[in-house]
Homo-oligomer: A and B are copies of this chain.
Amino acid sequence: MTKKEQILHTALALFAAQGYDRTATSRIAREAGVSEGLIFRHYENKAGLLEAILDEGLRQIAGTMEGYRLIENPRAAVLDHIRRSFILIREQEAFWRLAQMVRFQPEVRVGAAAKLEAINGFIVRQLAEQFSKLGARAPQQEALTLFALIDGICIQWLQAPEQYPLEDMKDHLINKYRHEQYGLG
């Protein structure tokens, strides 16, 4: 791992644990084992470091959420989306925690919001298409519902990872969406 990567990695861990504003660049440097100046050699400023972290995380999310259209059966596609989402939740805990904290920070919204909204929009559109194929009366709302549900579960879990029954919720969700009849409603 290069020192530049070391900085990124350490900053993610500290930002996620204490918050962006409460993490001093001097602390990042110390824990990463580099001089403080090096941070500003590799990244324009502290905000630039944050944006690099978010970019890297979003890149991985986009990667995981790629193989969408490959699945023909719409119900299988929805279930696959749920499974992939829970994998991402578990694998990227620090990133999600950081993302949650800076989500409403105006400064950040400018930089990373566009990319995040692009991914979100893509996912919701894909989901809506699947729900449409399943005969849902309001596919758009169904898609937004599932999206919000996964988001909400992720947040609840982040708040108490050792207590929240994440695995149970995944099974419950999959079971729910395996049998749901959208045409009836």
Contacts and interface: CB of A to CB of B under 8 A. Distances in A.
B159 A144 contact: no
A148 B138 contact: no
A150 interface: yes
Interface string A131-171: 00000001001101101111111011011000001001100
Contacts of A185: 175-176, 179
Interface in A167-185: 168-169, 172-173, 175-176, 179, 184-185
Interface residues of A, number: 38
Nearest to A184: B179
Instruction: Report copies per complex.
Output: 2
A158 B21 contact: no
Contacts of A17: 106
A101 interface: yes
A49 B87 CA distance: 39
Contacts of A106: 17-19
A156 B151 contact: yes
A150 B148 CA distance: 8
24 contacts: A17-B106, A19-B104, A21-B21, A97-B104, A100-B103, A100-B104, A101-B101, A101-B104, A103-B159, A104-B158, A142-B172, A144-B165, A144-B169, A145-B176, A147-B156, A148-B152, A148-B153, A148-B156, A148-B169, A150-B152, A151-B152, A151-B156, A175-B185, A176-B185
